[in-house]
Amino acid sequence: MGHRLVYVTAPSAEEAERLGRLAVESRLAACANIIPGMRSVYWWQGKLESAEETVLLLKTTAALVGELTQALTDAHSYDCPCVVSLPIEGGNPAFLKWIEDETR
């Protein structure tokens, strides 16, 4: 089974926690880490923007990435939220097994 780290940005720590709880409570992710205080610089609708955001990191399985992405996109306040999946290529076998055990 493949494992994934899903990187999400949110406009606030409160929204990141709401999204993280949604993912974990629905068993689409085993764990959510919330990292406040990130500064982003990006293009949006033809303008250069800068904003403070919060990072949300989720641990899940490859099989659940599609469903997790849809759930986060549906629940997110952004029109086009950043939700990207990165492969986990190795790590503590017991932790990777825990991800599998805690997701559906």
List, in sequence order, every residue forming a beta bridge with 59; answer none if it has no partner: 5, 31
59: pLDDT strictly greater than 80: yes
pLDDT score, position 1: 73
What pLDDT digit, counting tens, does each position of 4-19 carry? 999 999 999 999 999 9
Q: Which domains does the chain have, with CATH numbers?
A: 3-102 (3.30.70.120)
The pTM for the full model equals: 0.95
What pLDDT digit, counting tens, does each position of 61-76 carry? 999 999 999 999 999 9
Angle in degrees, CA 56, 59, 62, rounded to 5: 120
98: pLDDT strictly greater than 90: yes
Spatial CA neighbour of 56 closest among 92, 96, 28, 19: 19
User: What average pLDDT does range 26-50 have in this prediction?
Assistant: 97
List, in sequence order, every residue forming a beta bridge with 56; answer none if it has no partner: 8, 34
What is the C-alpha to C-alpha distance for residues 96 and 88, in angstroms, rounded to an integer?
9
